[in-house]
Amino acid sequence: MEDVDRRSALALGLTAAAAVPGLLAATPALAQLYRPDEGVERSPGVRQVNLSKHQSMIPGYVTVSMRDIVYQPGAKTESPTMANDMVCHCLEGELYIDQGPHERFQAKAGDVWSCMKGMPESVVNKGNVAGIMRVIDLIPKT
């Protein structure tokens, strides 16, 4: 192995130091945003984009499906009763969730929660950017 003199060591150190800010300043990947006309309109400013559906391996459920609900700023939905059990995830933005008198919360990007068949849920986007709720539906045997 060759000997490294001070000048070579200094050059190598400066080169490594110059690369570090680029590694530290990397921007996180963002979820794919949807076109304003993509999916099906559920209510003014709210669109549903169906993603995937597959046979379930979970006992008691025949199918699992995944969809994104995109809420434009100020948009809202109200569901007096959930049609099935589901797991929800706030993918983008912030959404205000009201599941009746005992459960009200603000879901921020990355938060997850569940809904039980028959329970109510209202969702409002009070922010100034689109909010995306990813829903995984658990469809029972009929």
Residue 51, domain CATH: 2.60.120.10
Computed over every residue of the chain, the mean pLDDT equals 85
CA within 13 Å, CB half, 119:
16
- Write down the pLDDT at residue 142: 78
Q: By the 8 A CB rule, do 85 and 132 touch?
A: no
Provide the residue range defining the domain that includes 71.
40-140
28 inside domain? no
The residue that leads in pLDDT, 14 or 39, is 39
User: Does 56 fall in a domain?
Assistant: yes
Mean of pLDDT values over 40-51: 96
pTM: 0.76
Task: Give φ, ψ of 70 to 5 degrees.
Answer: -100, 120
Does the structure show a pLDDT above 70 at 110? yes
Q: pLDDT class for 27, splitting at 50, 70, 90?
A: very low
pLDDT for res 36? 82
Q: Is residue 24 included in any domain, yes or no?
A: no
Residue 77 forms part of a structural domain: yes
In a domain, 92, yes or no: yes
> How many structural domains comprise the chain?
1
